[in-house]
Amino acid sequence: MNLRSLGEFGLIDRIAGRVAAGTGIIRGIGDDAAAVEPSPGTVQLLTSDMLLEGVHFDLTFTSPEALGRKSLAVNLSDMAAMGGRSRHFLLSLAIPPSVSLEFLDPFIGGLLDMASCHAVSLVGGDTCASRSGLVISITLVGEQLPERVVYRQGARPGDLVCVTGFLGDSALGLAELRAGLRETPAISRHLEPSPRCNEGLMLAEAGLPTAMIDVSDGLLADLGHILECSGVGAKVFLDRLPLSEYFSAEAGRLVSEPIQLALAGGEDYELLFSLPRQYLPQARQLLSARGTGCAVIGEVTEEAGLHVTAPDGSSYQPAGLGFSHF
């Protein structure tokens, strides 16, 4: 069986046949639109990410399963950063002649596996042919009580600047892939990020963060978004950035200034949030119950601008702020 003989509607049926039952779905795949029931009293949270072959991923680096998981993970991470509960998603796929069913089947498998882990359901989308590379566009719908949603605005002077997990591993993994390495801990973090869904939800439902974002463009760029939206500044201390053991041991072998990977590498998919100081013990407890670290990397300031302090107390000028297309 190949894609051409299966056809567009055959492919849709093949995907639909693998989708597990979900909640709140009145009509899933197979109509002009999906129909879903919002939970009473919630606001709906909507986020989209598009991934292009040759821009966001390289099929010589990633397995189809890992690509499927990551395609959904980057959207789940956005939802986590709002403190939302992810519920349903739409998948649009543009498939070039070079991509076979032998690729698509495990790709969908990885995607639905990630969906199942986070209790979200595929309810619709679009499939078409592509004359160039594979294009994956996902829209994720989640929900939360209005008073529990956490925006980028809301950071206040005196709040701590906190981040979950470790920074820089994903960028190190990409550098390793480009250098010809395969199967290192950092490469796993790059190809298969774990979105902090439960962490975002728990922090939001406990009412702890004043602002939150996920680190996708890079720590400095994403912190910049929070500061800009909140109308505040921040100071960040380089020696407080959470770095994994693997990163500390290996990054220096491959790149001349490893800290740049942690500051601006991007694709960490960790949660960056501002937190009133008195909530730190509670936040740490919530996160450690999930085995997730919480590093305090700085403090929000009334004075605008982002100041980075080197370990010797001097002011550090980062080489770049993070990833931007074009």
What residues numbered 112-131 form the site for its own copies, per CB under 8 A?
123-131
Least distance from its own copies to the Cβ atom of residue 53, Å: 8
Least distance from its own copies to the Cβ atom of residue 245, Å: 29
Binding part of the chain for its own copies, among 142-150, 176-184, 248-256, 301-309 by CB under 8 A, reads 142-150
Q: Which secondary structure element, helix H or strand E, spans residue 140, and what is its range?
A: strand 135-144
What residues numbered 146-175 form the site for its own copies, per CB under 8 A?
146, 149, 151-152
Contact indicator for 218, 265 with CB cutoff of 8 Å: yes
User: Which CB sits closer to its own copies, 204 or 262?
Assistant: 204
Rounded-to-integer distance, Cα 40 and Cα 36, Å: 12
Q: Is 308 exposed, middle or buried (0-12, 13-18, 19+ CB in 10 A)?
A: buried
Non-local (6+) Cβ contacts of 308 within 8 A are: 220, 235, 236, 237, 238, 263, 315, 316, 317, 318
Amino acid making up residue 85 = R
Least distance from its own copies to the Cβ atom of residue 85, Å: 12
29 touches its own copies by CB under 8 A: no
CA geometry: angle at 101 spanning 97 and 106, to 5°? 125
Size of residue set near its own copies by CB under 8 A: 71
What residues numbered 207-246 form the site for its own copies, per CB under 8 A?
212-214, 229
Binding part of the chain for its own copies, among 25-33, 187-195, 238-246, 254-262 by CB under 8 A, reads 25-33
When binding is defined by CB under 8 A, the residue of 98, 132, 285, 288 that contacts its own copies is: 132
For the chain, the straight-line distance linking the first and the last C-alpha, in angstroms and rounded, comes to: 39
Binding part of the chain for its own copies, among 46-54, 169-177, 178-186, 284-292 by CB under 8 A, reads 46-54
